[in-house]
Amino acid sequence: MAKSEETSSLSSSSSSGGRPWESYHTVYTNAKAGMEGVDKEKVQRVVYEMSKGSKYFQNEQRKEAYINHKIQNMRAQRANLNPTHLLSHYQRIADKRIAELEATRDLTRKWLHVDMDAFYAAVETLSNPSLKSRPMAVGTISMISTANYEARKFGVRAAMPGFIACKLCPELIFVPTDFKKYTHYSDLTRKVFQEYDPNFMAASLDEAYLDITSVCKERGISDAELTEELRQNVYKATGLTCSAGVAPNRLLAKVCSDINKPNGQFLLPNDRAAIMTFISSLPIRKIGGIGKVTEQILKDVFEIKTCEDLLQKSSFLCALFSPSSAGLGGTDAPQVRSRKSMSNERTFSATKDETFFHQKLVELSEMLSADMEKERLHGRTLTLKLKTASFEVKTRALTLQSYIQSSKDILKHASKLLKAELPVSLRLIGLRMSHFNEDKDGTVSDPTQRTLLNYIKPGDDNMNLVDEEHSDLKDNSESHCYTYTDPPLDLLSELNDHSEQVVEQISESAQVGNTVKSSEFDAQGTETYFLERRNQGQLTMIDFPENETESTSSHHKEVLIWLEDYKCSVCGVELPPSFLEERQEHADFHLAEKMQMEEESAHSYRNLPLKNRMRQKEAGVGQSKGKKKPKHSPLNGKHIPIDAFFTKASHNL
DNA sequence: GGGACCTGGGTAC
DNA sequence: TTCCAGTACCCAGGTCCC
């Protein structure tokens, strides 16, 4: 599916006067296969009218303002580059880079890009031929995945909200997505592709790249004939049409496959002159990686609209963008890449209901855990994604030192991240796991990892950990949460009495809720204690279980009451009933503090880290140690890698 | 100074 | 009347720690 099928954006550059929709630039009106003859102004007006005043629209305005600000800064930067000698300096750098890329250019390959035509919609039409001549969209009232060509005549297209599509085309028929069906047909197409290139590269369910250099030579036929044959075989196997492009590299092949869509093909000769002619007028938006924002920046700051402009202005780009990201695209063979992350997210009607949030987290944790289990993955970094009622997206991440997979572990950490953000009104919650282990068995492969055992002297059987995997001290590595300094080795190794272990148990469990099992401590009793408190949901009194050892239980008839159901009776801090975890941690703190005071002569060093921990917690669990300051960069944001352009616009061509 | 980490953002499909 | 997805990758730039 084409990259232009995306959401709309406000334009910064036009002043629209009495026709405000004209400034609501939307790619919905971009020329696209099947959309010839669409009344673009009407579509633009409808989209604007349906959007204006909404929170989504306001958020778009906010983003637009940010981009405009960035553009202004970059214009100022550009103005400072006027001195001839400065620009010539960057021109030399750019020329050198281009020459390097030219030297490694390979024009001997023939890459074929196949793109199925309106794939989801076409599959649905196969199942229900009556849809063939009626406007139809696959998706929901919230979002459309793809639209058939009848619907496109009205301006309906992929990534358009369904309610806007309904306004454009009241007759529109919605068909829910059925990925099982699409996967089946995708498999059929891939069987065909395999006959031409066993190592073909599937880009998505409906797109693939094939290196047809060898098969053309072996069979002694032209790339045009072979492409025609392949498309016919895809049709025979599936009943679906596709479009294709052939070029010396994948990037260009993809551009070519879009030219004669639907059910067509375009071939670009492996000839430098022909290629240079082809790209001279090629809009930069056609280059993979250049989206609407980058396009706008390049146009508004540098007046760059085509790939030729790009090369001509290379000195500016070299001066203002970071020289990184070499090697994007290219004529290389596709390489197998390992998965970097796995995620799921769900959108719902904006709400502040914390019980609902928790339920969503439970669902997401279970889904994510199941997905990870299928691929035998264990991850270390958990990222919570939130979209507020005003469409602002926030992420909060947590990197553990131990790999996790279970829904229980995921939920535990996700809940902690979410609670730090409460109260909040949300319309989306997502969870992403990344930083996967190599061996996929959940073991920790980092030998430098610090665990409790690292702190224990050989032979110190007072800290005989049974369950190192769940040692809570590992979670101290959650650097955004706890930045206290670990106690010195020699002091830690002196841990040798029950009271100290109780303090450790309480303080650590307060952080993450795990259980440390000790050979001397009554671990089961402690576990029961914490679980009971959680089940109560609301802490009003702390009581140790009956089977607690005498040496510890003597300390622990501590009482903490939430006055008027929200105020701590010990220090007066206010925590509403919904802050369950925070309340538990707060109570733990007071308990541990009291115990520490009682035992201060022997183990006073513990006070500092514990208090530090509580300060961190009270400051907010989800706050990053790397919390961003307002950006003051001259470019005020992301640098666009100049080599990305050179690589794609020159090396790849 | 560099690596690890966190956060926001852009992009593709 | 209201309504704008889900998955995955990559990058820049910030802080913190060694």
Residues A115 and A260 reside in one and the same domain: yes
d(CA A85, C1' B1) / Å: 31
The rounded distance, in Å, linking the Cα atoms of A465 and A118 is 59
Q: Is the CB of A340 less than 7 A from some atom of nucleic acid strand C?
A: yes
User: Is A595 strand, coil or helix?
Assistant: helix
Q: What is the CATH number of the domain that holds A237?
A: 3.30.70.270
In this predicted structure, the answer to whether residue A297 has a pLDDT above a threshold of 50 is: yes
Residues A506 and A607 reside in one and the same domain: yes
Residues A427 and A471 reside in one and the same domain: no
| Nucleotide nearest A624, from its CA to each C1' | B6
What pLDDT does A628 receive? Answer: 38
Within 617-646 of chain A, which residues have Cβ less than 7 Å from strand C?
624-629, 631-633, 635, 637-639, 641
The rounded distance, in Å, linking the Cα atoms of A354 and A434 is 26
Give whole-number Cα distances, A599 to A509, A520, A525, A558, A594, in Å. 20, 19, 22, 15, 9
Residues A223 and A256 reside in one and the same domain: yes
H-state helical runs in A80-178: 84-103, 119-127, 149-152, 162-168
How large is the average pLDDT for residues A220-233?
98
What count of other Cβ atoms lies within 10 Å of the Cβ of residue A385? 18
Q: How confident is the model at residue A382 (pLDDT cuts 50, 70, 90)?
A: very high
Q: Is the CB of A478 less than 7 A from some atom of nucleic acid strand B?
A: yes
What total of structural domains would you count in chain A?
A: 3
Residues A489 and A409 reside in one and the same domain: no
Q: Which residue do the tokens 């979670």 mark?
A: A475
What pLDDT does A20 receive? Answer: 64
d(CA A56, C1' B5) / Å: 31
- Chosen domain end from A410, A436, A462: A436
What pLDDT does A77 receive? Answer: 82
Q: How confident is the model at residue A471 (pLDDT cuts 50, 70, 90)?
A: very low
Phi, psi (degrees; rounded to nearest 5) at A387: -120, 120
Tokens (6 digits) for A286: 């056609």
Within 7-66 of chain A, which residues have Cβ less than 7 Å from strand C?
7-8, 47, 50-51, 54-57
Q: A122 is in which domain, residue-wise?
A: 111-134+171-270
Residues A425 and A490 reside in one and the same domain: no
In this predicted structure, the answer to whether residue A246 has a pLDDT above a threshold of 50 is: yes
d(CA A114, C1' C10) / Å: 24
Residue A11 CA, distance from chain mean position: 26
Q: Is the peptide bond before A262 cis (omega within 30 degrees of 0)?
A: yes
Q: Which residues are CB-contacts of A220 (< 8 A; sequence separation ≥ 6)?
A: none
- Chosen domain end from A387, A410, A436: A436
Residues A243 and A366 reside in one and the same domain: no
Cβ atoms A73, A634 nearer than 8 A: yes
CB-contacted nucleotides of strand C (7 Å):
2-17
Least reliable range by pLDDT among A56-70, A389-403, A635-649? A635-649
What pLDDT does A37 receive? Answer: 75
**Is residue A645 domain-resident?**
no
Residues A603 and A500 reside in one and the same domain: yes
Residues A402 and A534 reside in one and the same domain: no
Residues A421 and A515 reside in one and the same domain: no
The rounded distance, in Å, linking the Cα atoms of A82 and A87 is 7
Query: At CB < 8 A and 24+ separation, what contacts does A492-495 make?
Result: A492/A455, A492/A456, A493/A455, A493/A456, A493/A457, A493/A460, A495/A462, A495/A463
Start-to-end Cα distance in chain A: 22
User: Which helix or strand (DSSP H or E) is residue A191 part of?
Assistant: helix A179-196
Residues A222 and A355 reside in one and the same domain: no
Residues A493 and A611 reside in one and the same domain: yes
In this predicted structure, the answer to whether residue A364 has a pLDDT above a threshold of 80 is: yes
Within 359-398 of chain A, which residues have Cβ less than 7 Å from strand C?
none
Q: Is the CB of A141 less than 7 A from some atom of nucleic acid strand C?
A: yes
**Is residue A639 domain-resident?**
no
Cβ atoms A572, A560 nearer than 8 A: no
The rounded distance, in Å, linking the Cα atoms of A255 and A261 is 11
The rounded distance, in Å, linking the Cα atoms of A635 and A71 is 8
Least reliable range by pLDDT among A92-106, A273-287, A536-550? A536-550
